Structure 1
Amino acid sequence: MPSTASTPGALSGIKVLDLSRVLAGPWATQMLADLGADVIKVERPVAGDDTRHWGPPFLKDDDGNDTRQASYFTACNRNKRSITIDMAHPEGQALLRRMAAEADVLVENFKVGGLAQYGLDYDSLKTLNPKLIYCSITGFGQDGPYAERAGYDLMVQAMCGLMSITGHADAQPGGGPLKVGVAVIDVFTGLYASNAILAAINARDSARNGSGTGQYIDMALLDVGMAVLANQAAGFLATGQTPERAGNTHPSLAPYQDFRTSDGNVLLAIGNDGQFARFCAAVHQPAQAQDARFTTNTGRVQHRAALLEWLQPLMQTRSTAEWIALLQDKAVPCGPINTVAQAFDDPQVQARGIHMTLPCQTGNDIAQVATVASPMRLSATPVSYRSAPPTLGQHTQEVLQELGLSEDEVHALRTAHVL
C-alpha cells in the first residue's frame, strides 16, 4: 500500500527550486517530491501556475460546489511548497538567486534564453552554486532551427509522427490521425527529466566522479517525442517504410487487438506462440494452432486477414465477461476495455491503493484532494504523501523565513508587490 509515513525518503535532503509550470516540469518535480525532495514551487503572484485555471473540471467544496481551483493542477503538484515571487522585480530576482545558491536542483521551462535577463540562467547561477543541477525543458531544445519556437504537447505529438500512427486508417470509419488521450509527450518529458536529474545528482555526489559539481540538462519535447516512438521508429530505421495507422492492431503481433463480443468489446493480447496455442485449445479448436499460416507469430502477422476472418465471428459467440473467465486461468492475456470510472473501480486498482485523498491544511473550502498514487514502490525508502497540492503562495512566509528573512522584511516585500 502507498505510504503516508514521515520517514525520510530516498531524496530526503535534496532541495529543488521549481520554476516550471503546466505539466512536463511539474510532473518531473512531483516525482522528486514523492521521493522525499523538498520542492519549492515558485509561482506568479495572483495568477500562479497556468493550470490552476485550466478548468472545468474544478475541485468541489464541502457542499459540492465548484471552486476556482482546476483539478488539472492537482495532477502534478502534490508534496510541494508554493511561494509567489515576481521575477520581473529586481528584488524578486535577488530572492531567487539566494534560493538557487542553496538548491541542489533547479527546473525551468521558460523559452530559450528567457531567464538570462533576470540573471537566473545556468551560466549566472553556477557561479553562485557550482553544485547546482539546472534542468531546462523546452519544446525543441537549446539549439537548432526551431529553438526559439514555443512547443506544446499537441504540436509535438503531430510533429514527431505519433499522431500519424494513432487512430484508424483513413479508409476506415473514423479514420485519420489522432492525439493520445493524455498529454503523453509532456508526461514522458517529465519522466525523462527526472531520470536525468537523478543521474546528475549521482554523478555530482559519486565518489567515482569526485568533482562535486552540477551540470546543465537540456530537455526537449520533440526529442522525447521521437524517442518514445520506440519500436515504430526502430522499424522505420530498419526498413525505410513509414508506419501507418492501424487502429488497435499491433504492427508486429497478432492477434493483439480489441474484438467485438456478444455484449461489447474485449482486448486479446497474445504475445507468443504458446499463448496462441493455449487460446486455440481453450476454444476447442487446437487445429488452428497447427495451421501453417498461424503456427508462428510471423505467420499470423503475415496472414492477419485470414486470422481475423476466423477470430472475429468466434469472439462474438461469448460475452466480454465470459471471455475473461475462460482465459484468465490459462495464461492468455485478455481483459476489458474500461472507462476511467471502471478502471478506478477495478478490484486490482483498489487493492493497490491507487486512488488516494490528501487532506488540505489551508482552511479553505476544500477539505480533501483526490490524487493518483505514485507507481514507484520502494521497499526501504517508500514514496510518501506529505501534503496535498498547495494553494497559491501557501508557503511563502515559511520559505522566506527559512531563507533568513524576518517577518518585517517579508511584509515589506508584500507591500512592494514583489510577492
Structure 2
Amino acid sequence: MGALSHIRVLDLSRVLAGPWCAQTLADFGADVIKIERPGTGDDTRHWGPPYLKAPDGADTREAAYYLAANRNKRSVTVDIATPEGQRVVRELAAKSDVVLENYKVGQLKRYGLDYESLRAVKPDLIYCSVTGFGQTGPYAQRAGYDFIVQGLGGFMSITGEREGEPGGGPQKAGVAIADLMTGMYASVAVLTALAHRERTGVGQYIDMALLDVQVAMLANMNSNFLASGTPPARWGNAHPNIVPYQTFQTSDGWIIVAVGNDGQFRKFVEAGGRTELADDERFSTNPARVRNRDTLVPLLTAMVRLRSKREWIDALEAAQVPCGPINDLREVFDNEQVIARGMQIDLPHPSGGTVKLVRNPVRMTETPPRAVAHPPTLGEHTDDVLRSVLGYDDAQIAALRAQQVV
C-alpha cells in the first residue's frame, strides 16, 4: 500500500517521457493501467536487441528499453481506433483519477478521448498531455524527438568538446535527457494537481512539452546568458573558471580531478611528484592556472598517465583531493556503494526467470517507493482489468476479442 494506492492512472502514453512519469507514480503505489495497441503494443517493446532472456537463454522479445520504464503497471490491449475500443477507454477514464497521453496535438479528439470529452464523464479528471512542443505555438503540430529537442533547446550547444579540440563539436547526452526530465516534471505536475483536487475537488489539464523542459533545465547556463547576453560555450570535461577541474587519462582508464582551491592543487601535484608546479607563479593560484591552462594541462596530462586509475584514486582520496573514476556500467553495478544502496533489483517474470531493473532512487521512512511487479507482457491484464474495474463478464470480454477490439 503505497502513498498513491488510492489513485488510478490511465496511461495512454508510449516510448519514454509519458511511461517514465507513469512508472514513477506506480512506484509510489498508483494503479497504472497501460493501454496498448493489440498485437504490437508500446513501440519500445521492439526496440532491441538486447531483449530479456528466458531461463533457457531464448529471447523473450521484451526489449530492455521497454523494461526500463514500465514496471508496476497493468497492460491492457485496446484498439482505440474502433468505437468499441473508445467506449472501453472512456469507461476506464471514468474510473480513473489521472490520464496520461503523448499523442500528436488534436489526435485523440478524433476518438473522443481528449480532455474535454473525458472530463464530461469524469469532471474532476487530471489529464496530462506530453508532446514535443506543447499544445500552442507555431511548432505545436511538429513531432517531438528527444534528440532534436536537445539541439533545438540549447543543451547540445553547451555539451561536447571545445571548438578546435580533438573531437570538438556539439554532443547529445548519453540518455534521452529531455524525455526523462519531462517525465519527472510531469510527475511533479500530476502530484501537484492531485493535491489541488484534494483541497478543491477540481481537476485540471496539464500541458507538458519536451522543448519547454529542455530550456528550463539549463538552469545556471540560462542565467549566465540572461545576465551577460553572451551564449555559454562548450568546455567538454573542463571548467571555464576552475583549473584543473576535468578528466584525465591514467595508464588504464579515466579519472575526474576536481581541484577547488590552491591547497588542493598543491596536494594533487605533490601526489604526482610534481611539487614544483605548485610553486610556479604561472600555476600557483587559480586565476593564474586559468590564464595558463594551455600550458599547465598538458603537463598534468603527462603526469597522470604515469599511474593507474586505482593508484590515483587511492592517492588523491588520501590527500583529500576531490576525485573519482569514470566507470562503465559493469563497474557501476559492481561498486560497493551502489551495492550497499541496493540499486539493482530482480523481479520475477512470466518467462520463468527474473528481470533485472534499477530501483527508484527515492528513500522515505513512511511511504517509500516499491518495485512489486515486472513490466507487464503485452495485454497481460486485459481480462482482469475489464472484470475488476469495469465489471465485464466473460461473454462481454469474448465479444470484444471476437471483434479484435482487445
Task: Identify whether the pair has TM-score above 0.5, normalized to the shorter chain.
Answer: yes
User: Aligned AA for 2:395?
Assistant: D
User: How far apart in 1 are the matches of 2:352 and 2:258?
Assistant: 42
User: How far apart in 2 are the matches of 1:64 and 1:26?
Assistant: 28
Comparing 249-258 and 83-92, the one that deviates more: 249-258
Q: Give the CA deviation at 1:288.
A: 2.4
Flag the 1:396–1:74 CA change in 2: closer, same or farther, 3 A.
Answer: same
SS of the aligned residue for 2:33 comes to strand
Q: Which position in structure 2 is the counterpart of 1:408?
A: 395
Q: Give the CA deviation at 1:390.
A: 0.2
Q: Which position in structure 1 is the counterpart of 2:357?
A: 371
Question: Any unmatched runs of 5+ in structure 1?
Answer: 1-7
Comparing 227-236 and 134-143, the one that deviates more: 227-236
**CA displacement, residues 283-330 of structure 1 (integer Å, 9 cap, x when unaligned):** 57398289586535x554444334424432332343211111012244
User: How far apart in 2 are the matches of 1:170 and 1:180?
Assistant: 18
Q: Which position in structure 2 is the counterpart of 1:134?
A: 127
User: Aligned AA for 1:178?
Assistant: Q
Q: Which position in structure 2 is the counterpart of 1:385?
A: 371
Equivalent of residue 269 in structure 1, options 239, 254, 258 = 258
User: Aligned AA for 1:288?
Assistant: A
**CA displacement, residues 16-60 of structure 1 (integer Å, 9 cap, x when unaligned):** 000000000000110000111110000001110000011111111
User: Aligned AA for 1:379?
Assistant: T
User: How far apart in 2 are the matches of 1:377 and 1:411?
Assistant: 44
User: Aligned AA for 2:278?
Assistant: Q
8 Å Cα contact 1:294/1:307 also seen in 2: no
User: Aligned AA for 1:104?
Assistant: D
Comparing 83-92 and 161-170, the one that deviates more: 161-170
User: Aligned AA for 1:71?
Assistant: A
User: How far apart in 1 are the matches of 2:276 and 2:120?
Assistant: 71
Q: Which position in structure 2 is the counterpart of 1:352?
A: 341
User: Aligned AA for 1:248?
Assistant: N
User: Aligned AA for 1:238?
Assistant: A
Equivalent of residue 185 in structure 2, options 160, 173, 192 = 192
Q: Which position in structure 1 is the counterpart of 2:303?
A: 314
User: How far apart in 2 are the matches of 1:131 and 1:299?
Assistant: 62
Runs of 4+ in 1 over 6 A off after TM superposition: none
8 Å Cα contact 1:354/1:372 also seen in 2: yes
Flag the 1:329–1:101 CA change in 2: closer, same or farther, 3 A.
Answer: farther
1:3-402 alignment to 2 at 5 Å? Answer: 8-206=1-199, 211-271=200-260, 275-276=264-265, 279=268, 285=275, 288=278, 294-296=284-286, 300-360=289-349, 362=350, 365-402=351-388
Flag the 1:254–1:126 CA change in 2: closer, same or farther, 3 A.
Answer: farther
8 Å Cα contact 2:150/2:214 also seen in 1: yes
User: How far apart in 1 are the matches of 2:35 and 2:231?
Assistant: 43
SS of the aligned residue for 1:171 comes to coil
User: How far apart in 2 are the matches of 1:50 and 1:294?
Assistant: 56
SS of the aligned residue for 1:137 comes to strand
**CA displacement, residues 262-300 of structure 1 (integer Å, 9 cap, x when unaligned):** 33321112345664465466557398289586535x554
User: How far apart in 1 are the matches of 2:258 and 2:137?
Assistant: 41
8 Å Cα contact 1:262/1:316 also seen in 2: yes
User: How far apart in 1 are the matches of 2:88 and 2:23?
Assistant: 23
SS of the aligned residue for 1:10 comes to coil
Comparing 79-88 and 323-332, the one that deviates more: 323-332
User: Aligned AA for 2:126?
Assistant: I
Flag the 1:167–1:96 CA change in 2: closer, same or farther, 3 A.
Answer: same
Comparing 74-83 and 260-269, the one that deviates more: 260-269
Q: Give the CA deviation at 1:195.
A: 0.9
Q: Give the CA deviation at 1:240.
A: 1.9
8 Å Cα contact 1:26/1:77 also seen in 2: yes
TM-score normalised by L of structure 1? 0.90
SS of the aligned residue for 2:70 comes to coil
Flag the 1:356–1:163 CA change in 2: closer, same or farther, 3 A.
Answer: same
8 Å Cα contact 2:281/2:288 also seen in 1: no
User: How far apart in 1 are the matches of 2:111 and 2:376?
Assistant: 26
8 Å Cα contact 1:263/1:319 also seen in 2: yes
Question: Any unmatched runs of 5+ in structure 2?
Answer: none
User: Aligned AA for 2:373?
Assistant: S
Comparing 149-158 and 243-252, the one that deviates more: 243-252
User: How far apart in 1 are the matches of 2:30 and 2:285?
Assistant: 52
User: Aligned AA for 2:210?
Assistant: L
Comparing 385-394 and 231-240, the one that deviates more: 231-240
User: How far apart in 2 are the matches of 1:189 and 1:289?
Assistant: 49
Q: Which position in structure 1 is the counterpart of 2:404?
A: 417
Alpha-carbon RMSD across the aligned residues, in angstroms, is: 2.1
